[in-house]
Amino acid sequence: MNNTLLEFGPLSITYPSYTGGEERVIRVQERYVVKQNQLLLLSGDSGCGKSTLLSLFKGIIPHHLHAKIEGECRLNGHDLIRETGQEQVVYVFQNPYAQLVCSTVKEDLVFTMENLRFAKKDIAKNMVTFGHFFDLFPILEQKSAKLSGGECQKLVLAASLAANPTLLLLDEPTAFLDVQAREEFYRYLLKLKGHYTIILVDHHKEEVLPIVDHVINFPARTVDWHSRELEFPFINRGSNKKSYEISLQEVSFSYTKREPWLLEKFSMSAKSGEVVAIMGKNGVGKTTLFKLIAGVLSPQKGAMQLLCDGKKVLQKRWHQHLTYLMQNPESHFIFDSIVEECAFNSKFAEKELRQLLSLYLGEDIDVHKSPFLLSEGEKRRLTFIMAILEGKDILLYDEPTFGQDEYNKIMIGKFIREMKQQGKLQIMITHDQKLATAIADKIINLEK
């Protein structure tokens, strides 16, 4: 009996360049066969084309994003390159918040089934089945926007499985999860194994290897990253001539009066030249803390103070002194091209920006293409560059290493060290214990 579900390769995917040439995104040299109910891991360096390949399986490429494709890719005998309408292929993106479209958990859980015109009885049945499986019933009426990363990831996966997919594509599903939530997610994945065909992209390779059936390794771009020394052209060492100190004294915050404190009597301090790591489980208030420091929110109790050369800065002007690198890179993008994003708050010429971008995104990077077309790992590195180019003296990083392979995690760590030597005050939210231990002067663990 032939139980082959997906066949692909050899193939190549080429995007048209905005500058008239061609940019090779991915080349698969061999032919691969995926059997029904297998759990497959796609492995490779950040930017090598793993997400591009998932987009091909879903039909996003070439039917919604134009690309030149040579080779073969078939799902259940259907040509994915020439045929559209792969409704039974479900793609869970790296950022789960990007797939929330309704106001409550219950509405998001049934949204896909309603779009696919499931019968009412099947919608009700699947809601009960997967709501219980992922323990969503206690939060069914909760606002989707208030979910923690782990809760959001479970909701998106439950909604995807409720649609009864032929093929489930998971792109870095644990990128925003803490260690405990990641372990819980892998336990769910193990329960699903043998019941669904799943293709997974995940940089936590050592953790996920014991549960996968097969691994496909893809080579990175031809750029020899490992031969490079880290360089910071056009950024002057020791340029910070001001001294800053942030302090929070017994700060408490809640989003509504009816809810308990999310942060209660929280205190901390940080000064120029320090790196502070904020750690803790999903949902304990780390991002809320950053919004308070950035001036997006104000505390209901307690005091916050920012000193610049010993003088107090009004809270409504804190944003003039700091840069806030948000968890979702796409939240930063407002222009049509990479170089425009970098030039917006930068004094450097395009030629200089091209050199900087080639160091951190690859020599073959097309700086005139949309930042939305980068891989998730490349988007994060781009926003890092954008943050540094703003030239602010206080830097807040929310999950700076998500979606990065091991080498690029090291590169980002060196980036942060360089900013420390320049006297920057840096605070980061991270689930990466190795990064925090290596570069942080202080580690603050938040608990409910």
Position 238 confidence tier, pLDDT thresholds 50, 70, 90: very low
Triad 201, 380, 289: Cα angle to 5°: 105
Q: Is the CB of residue 443 less than 8 Å from the CB of residue 434?
A: no
Closest C-alpha among 241, 263, 239 to residue 252: 263
pLDDT in tens, 124-175: 999 999 888 888 888 888 888 878 767 888 898 889 888 888 899 998 887 7
What global pTM score does this model have?
0.72
Which H or E element spans position 358?
A: helix 350-361
Give the pLDDT score at 224: 44
Tell whether the model's pLDDT for residue 425 goes beyond 80: yes
Chain position carrying tokens 């930017």: 47
- Give CA torsion, residues 237, 238, 243, 244, to 10 deg: 10
Average pLDDT, the chain: 83
Do 179 and 203 share a domain, yes or no?
yes
Same domain, residue pair 309 and 440: yes
Residue type, 191: K
Q: How confident is the model at residue 45 (pLDDT cuts 50, 70, 90)?
A: confident
Distance CA 119, CA 319 (A): 51
- Span of 38-52, 91-105, 229-243, 259-273 with lowest mean pLDDT: 229-243
Query: SS3 breakdown of the chain: % helix, strand, coil, rounded to 5?
Result: 35, 25, 40
Q: Give yes or no: residues 218 and 266 share one domain.
A: no
What's the confidence (pLDDT) of residue 240?
55
Calpha distance 86→163 (Å, rounded):
13
Please indicate, yes or no, whether residues 201 and 277 belong to a single structural domain of this protein.
no
Determine the structural domain holding residue 314 and report its residue range.
227-446
Provide the domain count of the chain: 2
**Is residue 146 located within the same domain as residue 112?**
yes
pLDDT of 175 reads 74
**Residue 69 phi/psi, 5° resolution?**
-120, 130
Question: Residues near 365 by Cβ (< 8 Å), separated by ≥ 6?
Answer: 338, 357, 358
Residues 103, 147: Cα–Cα separation, whole Å = 11
How many Cβ atoms sit within 10 Å of the Cβ of residue 242?
A: 12
Among 173, 204, 222, the domain boundary falls at 222
Distance of CA 18 to the CA centre of its chain: 25
Residue with tokens 């496909």: 216
The verdict on 254 and 387 lying in the same domain is: yes
For residue 274, what are its two tokens?
């320090």
Q: Verify that 54 and 199 share a domain, yes or no.
A: yes
C-alpha 203/C-alpha 206 separation (Å) is 9
Claim to verify: residue 201 and residue 284 sit in the same structural domain:
no
pLDDT class for 223, splitting at 50, 70, 90? Answer: very low
User: How distant, in Å, are the alpha carbons of 64, 166, 290, 327, 419 from that of 85?
Assistant: 11, 13, 42, 32, 48
Distance in angstroms (rounded) separating the CA atoms of residues 103 and 105: 7
Give the domain-ending residue among 160, 187, 222: 222
pLDDT tens for each residue of 254-306: 887 777 888 889 999 999 999 999 998 877 888 889 999 988 888 999 999 99
Which position has the higher pLDDT, 181 or 423?
Answer: 423
Give the N- to C-terminal CA distance of the chain in Å, as an integer: 53
Of 190, 222, 254, the residue at which a domain comes to its end is 222
Q: Identify whether the C-beta of residue 362 lies closer than 8 Å to the C-beta of residue 221.
A: yes
Which CATH number covers residue 309? 3.40.50.300
- DSSP H/E element including 353: helix 350-361
Please choose, from the candidates 194, 146, 202, the residue with its C-alpha nearest in 3D space to the C-alpha of residue 174: 202
Omega cis (within 30) before 10: yes
Contact 292, 246 (CB under 8 A): no
Q: Which helix (H) or strand (E) holds 370?
A: none
- What band does 329 get if pLDDT is binned at 50, 70 and 90? confident
Q: Are residues 210 and 236 in the same domain?
A: no
Tokens of 386: 């954008």
User: 226 pLDDT exceeds 60?
Assistant: no
Spatial separation of the C-alpha atoms in residues 155 and 433, rounded to whole Å: 26
Q: What is the 8-class DSSP label of residue 97? A: G
Contacts of 178 (CB under 8 A, 6+ apart): 149, 150, 280, 281, 282, 431
User: What is the model's pLDDT at position 219?
Assistant: 64
Q: Which of 71, 410, 30, 377 has its CA nearest to residue 217?
A: 30
Number of Cβ within 10 Å of residue 443's Cβ equals 14
200 and 313, same domain (yes or no) = no
- Provide the 3-class DSSP secondary structure of residue 283: coil
Q: Are residues 13 and 92 in the same domain?
A: yes
Tens-place pLDDT, residues 331-376 = 899 998 898 898 887 777 777 787 778 777 777 778 888 888 787 7
pLDDT over 70 percentage in the chain: 91
Q: What is the pLDDT of residues 64-83, one digit of tens each?
A: 877 888 898 998 888 888 88
Please check whether residues 41 and 146 belong to one and the same domain: yes
